[in-house]
Structure 1
Amino acid sequence: MKTWLVRCLLGGLILSTPALAQDEDEDPYATPDEESSRSSDDDYNRPEPVDQTDEFREVSEQEGEDGDFQRMSGLDDPNLGVAVELIAGALLVDSSRGEFSDNLLGLGVRATWEFGRILDNEALREALWADLRWTYGGLSDGTAFISGDTSLHYFTIAPAYELKLGKSDFGFFAQAGGGLAYQATSITVDADVTKVNGLKPVLQGGVGFRGRPRLTSSGNLRLAFRVEALAFRRGYMNDFFLGGSLGTAF
């Protein structure tokens, strides 16, 4: 009898379902409606995220020495935006003899400054620049008895806008400016020399292709070159320059 009773008790313990530990927050006697109400109260009491967009916008708009944020445009660019180039090409001078032009060898030098770097605009940093240019051409004609020597000097300042080819160091440009043209003429008749000098306003305009590839991977020294077609309006005369330039930029 005792053996049968012990066996019954052991069988009941084995077949009984183990009690699982419940979560501390769970109420075993709570109804489904009470559980839903408790979840809603927890969501209501949870703090909402704070929108700091306006605060960051106000701080980022602060400028000047007293502002916490200053625009960093150009600080990672070591270039000064200055270039010096030697010019060579064909100078087509308006002919006084009724021909299309007197073709001369045009030589000169120019200095370029990328003044767009002083503007706080990333798109205009290398797109705006200006040239300070001197172009020279000389012409001689006549006979052994009478001859004339003429030299032309163009001094111009011309701002330009360049359309960059993506993120590269190359682009197409258009420019327009003005300055002065100085003409010195010497007329020789036998042994007598007569000099005639004149100064006229000149307008300059043209288009071209410009490049500034790096010469070193770490430094800021660049090769500056240009291919261009320019027109000079010298008084009532029209002169043209077809050529290019080569120099350095830094």
Structure 2
Amino acid sequence: MKTWLLRCALGSLALSAPALAQDEGDDPYAYPDDAPSYDAAESYDGIRPKVDQTDDFRRVSEQEGDDGEDDFETLSSLDDPNLGVAMEFISGALFLDSPRGRAADTRLGLGVRATWEYGRILDNESLREALWADLRWTYGGTSDGTEFLQGKTNIHYFTIAPAYELKLGKSDFGFFGQLGGGIAYQASSITIDTVETKVSGIKPLFQYGVGFRGRPRITSSGNLRLAFRVEAMGFRRGYHNDFFLGGSLGTAF
């Protein structure tokens, strides 16, 4: 009897072991060996298509505010805070038209001018430094005669002349053309022995010419610049056509 009971107990234990092992837990979860790695950038690109940033800038520049004015403001004045003002001293050869029909009298021409780059007030990047104007004074004189009879003539040219400059890329140099007007003040004197007779007058003046202009920076920081020009300029006063060939040197701010 005892042997039979022992055999039944051992048989029950043998059958219950696999069942208990099955009930205690399932097989471990099998992860695939080639699971794709998660890339946040690729996942984002897959959800939202790429947008060209130039489209955003274009929309901002074309967007109008409630008052009907463009909300997009240029920052050229911050990139280059120069005042656009220059002062230069002028020197060169002045060819005075002879009233007697002979070759022009070559004399030293001197002067000074102030330049204002008025294109800066137009809020246009292409015209910012291309448009400017000069307020100019140029002087020249001539004399002729003998010890007994002498004649002297001094001519002062006062002009206001706007100009348009073609910049050489984004450099501080360029070629320009200029047209303007003003007055020519002429003072003449004739001396016979010790008696002097003076005659003076004013005539309208037309100025025209071309040249090369430069405004390089003097220091890496700051607004001080070196201003210079090489020019060929004509002065038409009445029926006389004087001609100036020279240059100028000064500073710009």
Relative to the length of structure 2, the TM-score reads 0.75
Q: Following TM superposition, by how much is the alpha carbon of 1:63 offset from its aligned partner in structure 2, in angstroms?
A: 9.6
Structure 2 residues not aligned, in runs of 5+: 1-10, 33-46
Matched, 1:203 2:206: yes
Distance between the aligned counterparts of 2:227 and 2:141, measured in 1? 26
Distance between the aligned counterparts of 1:113 and 1:217, measured in 2? 23
Distance between the aligned counterparts of 1:242 and 1:134, measured in 2? 15
Q: Following TM superposition, by how much is the alpha carbon of 1:235 offset from its aligned partner in structure 2, in angstroms?
A: 0.6
Matched, 1:125 2:122: no
Matched, 1:230 2:230: no
Distance between the aligned counterparts of 1:63 and 1:190, measured in 2? 82
Q: Following TM superposition, by how much is the alpha carbon of 1:186 offset from its aligned partner in structure 2, in angstroms?
A: 0.5
Q: Following TM superposition, by how much is the alpha carbon of 1:133 offset from its aligned partner in structure 2, in angstroms?
A: 0.3
Residue in structure 1 matched with residue 143 of structure 2 by the alignment? 140
Distance between the aligned counterparts of 2:251 and 2:48, measured in 1? 62
- Identity rate, percent: 68
Write the letter of the residue equivalent to 1:166.
Answer: G
Residue in structure 2 matched with residue 92 of structure 1 by the alignment? 95
RMSD value, Cα: 3.3
Distance between the aligned counterparts of 1:55 and 1:102, measured in 2? 60
Residue in structure 2 matched with residue 106 of structure 1 by the alignment? 109
Write the letter of the residue equivalent to 1:208.
Answer: G
Distance between the aligned counterparts of 1:63 and 1:75, measured in 2? 26
Residue in structure 1 matched with residue 156 of structure 2 by the alignment? 153
- For the structure 1 residues 194 and 165, does the alpha-carbon distance in structure 2 shift closer, same or farther, using more than 3 Å as the test? same
**Which of 158, 168, 173 matches 1:170?**
173
**Which of 229, 243, 246 matches 1:240?**
243
Matched, 1:216 2:219: yes
Distance between the aligned counterparts of 1:218 and 1:77, measured in 2? 11
Distance between the aligned counterparts of 1:54 and 1:181, measured in 2? 53
Structure 1 residues not aligned, in runs of 5+: 23-45
- For the structure 1 residues 143 and 69, does the alpha-carbon distance in structure 2 shift closer, same or farther, using more than 3 Å as the test? same
Write the letter of the residue equivalent to 2:228.
Answer: F
Distance between the aligned counterparts of 2:120 and 2:179, measured in 1? 20
Distance between the aligned counterparts of 1:238 and 1:176, measured in 2? 15
Write the letter of the residue equivalent to 2:86.
Answer: A
Distance between the aligned counterparts of 2:252 and 2:66, measured in 1? 31
For 1:68-79, what aligned pairs fall within 5 Å after superposition?
69-79=72-82
Distance between the aligned counterparts of 1:192 and 1:174, measured in 2? 46
Contact 1:62 1:70 in 2 (8 A): no
Q: Deviations over 1:188-234 (max 9, x none)?
A: 11121111101000100000000001100001100000000001111
Distance between the aligned counterparts of 2:174 and 2:66, measured in 1? 32
Distance between the aligned counterparts of 1:49 and 1:92, measured in 2? 67
Residue in structure 2 matched with residue 81 of structure 1 by the alignment? 84
Aligned to 1:123, the other structure's residue is in SS state helix
- For the structure 1 residues 123 and 58, does the alpha-carbon distance in structure 2 shift closer, same or farther, using more than 3 Å as the test? closer
Write the letter of the residue equivalent to 2:166.
Answer: L
